[in-house]
Structure 1
Amino acid sequence: MDLTDAYENGAHIPGAADYPPRWASAASAFRSALGARAECDIDYGSGARQVLDVFRPEGACKGLVVFIHGGYWRKFDKSFWSHLAAGPLARGWAVAVPSYTLAPEARISEITREIVFAVTRAADLVEGPLVITGHSAGGHLSARMACEGVLPEGVAARLRRVVPISPLSDLAPLMQTEMNVDLKIDAAEAKAESPAFLGRRLGVDCTVWVGAEERPAFLDQARWLAEAWGCAHRIAPGRHHFDVIEEMEEVESPLIEALIGGVT
């Protein structure tokens, strides 16, 4: 069965082509407005895309949020998402946003390892509790960071919460899509890289977040992870796959509360 359309988002969202340039413009303006509080292009490895940005709040920092971008592991970089740091920053949290090597240059298992290095580097730069979130493919990667044995112990001990947004939690269905020409997922990698079949680290809180207007496949993927991990599952009313992340910009939004509310 060809599942390409089941996992196609843009074709089912009005004005989908307008979103990436809008994100890029908002992100650029956000970085400019932050000035010295935006620390950009910090290396976490030797690869051209192994860089991250750190945005710091005014005054004392309560901890670190890492946001991992989506794009089916094939598109985008950190420069599109800086503005999503606005909500956590306003509440006193630093935010790190990494880029990573894209498929087909890197397999998903390799991207997971890169994100481990990125989170570790960011944690070296900012003290305090650690919260990880990400959207779509980044939702998958954020969930992978909560899996037992993935992060180095010193970093994992600081991880309090993950909030995978519209995550891909079972990679096997993607083997039946056209994008697998780039992703090259096989049965072994699907098993090893699917958070829905992996154990969550003890003591790490999780809320799976998804938009009510998303494709049925993404509603399923979110539910599978929440059921597998026995964790909170929030369905945001009126949100589709591209605008579900917009609450990251709002200081008191339900998504920001799910992300950092009560974390110490």
Structure 2
Amino acid sequence: MIGWQEMDRATLDAAYANADHIADSDAFPPRWRAEAAAFREATPADLDLAYADRPGATLDLFHPEGPARGLTVFVHGGYWRSFGKSDWSHLASGAVTLGQAVAVVGYPLAPQVRIGEITRLVARAVDHAAARVSGPIHLTGHSAGGHLAARMVMADAAPACADRIASCVPISPLSDLRPLTALGMNDDWRLDAAEATAESPALGHPMPGPRLAVHVGAAERPSFLWQSEVLARAWGIPLRRVPGRHHFDVIDALTDPRSDLLADLLG
């Protein structure tokens, strides 16, 4: 993505169009919804917990057997404008198996809200879940959710419970938002240069303390490989390229308690 300023809109739009480059991409959302519903049916949980007086500002909190060893927070992707928490419940399964309480966070979507406001709401969601679960906090998120998870370990956006954050592992994150100002999707985000810069984790610094790493599928679009690389380089943290995985299946590691992703996240 070096030289994105010289690319026309159509070229940039294609660079960030994941579904167009994944075989049978239409089959993934129905599968996610079905697996999420089955997991909710089988797992003790507090559902639809409101953390702010805004439509969509709710989270689901899934509980392990016995006392929780800590709190894991997952923030979903969808370019800040699609999907919801109930599409992703099953991604809590690996951490729940390992004794974590897991908050799957929903948030209001663009164009009703701007990205900076979503960041502030996610910080409130983390605090709301942290008030219900003691112990260390582990943050992760995918794509736009990876951006939001990364923002939680930056001083200007961190939740009040920041001193409890033990780790943050963004998955295929959007970390430099400046190229996104030229995308067609920006009609929904309304990103300007100032907000794109302020909301870019790769242009800032993480707080000291949390253990950090970035995971990305090795078979992802070059734009997402670049987005992950610039964050890892800017923050001086490990970058894990997962062989054979693309943008839609790299998150499956969250369902496997033996995965390298959960090893990085939970230690």
- Fold shared by both chains (TM-score > 0.5): yes
The equivalent residue for 1:184 is 190
Q: Find the aligned partners of 2:186 and 2:157 in 1 and give their Cα distance.
A: 24
Greater mean alpha carbon deviation, residues 47-56 or residues 143-152: 143-152
The equivalent residue for 2:31 is 22
For residue 256 of structure 1, report the CA deviation from its aligned partner: 1.1
Give the AA of the match of 1:127.
Answer: S
When normalised by structure 1's length, the TM-score is 0.96
The equivalent residue for 1:157 is 163
> What's the secondary structure of 1:4's corresponding residue?
helix
Deviations 1:167-220 (A, max 9, x none): 000000011111011111110001100000111001111110100000000000
- Listed as ranges, the matches of 1:1-264 within 5 Å are 1=7, 2=9, 3-34=12-43, 37-153=44-160, 155-261=161-267
Give the AA of the match of 1:49.
Answer: G
Alignment RMSD = 0.8
Question: What is the percent sequence identity of the aligned residues?
Answer: 52
> What's the secondary structure of 2:157's corresponding residue?
coil
Moved beyond 3 Å, runs of 4+: none
Give the AA of the match of 1:79.
Answer: S
For residue 106 of structure 1, report the CA deviation from its aligned partner: 0.5
Equivalent residues, number:
258
When normalised by structure 2's length, the TM-score is 0.95
Q: Find the aligned partners of 1:247 and 1:13 in 2 and give their Cα distance.
A: 18
In structure 1, stretches of 5+ residues that fail to align are none
For residue 60 of structure 1, report the CA deviation from its aligned partner: 1.8
In structure 2, stretches of 5+ residues that fail to align are 1-6
Deviations 1:97-156 (A, max 9, x none): 111010010000010011011001000011100010000000000000011232244x00
The equivalent residue for 2:3 is none
Q: Find the aligned partners of 1:251 and 1:209 in 2 and give their Cα distance.
A: 16
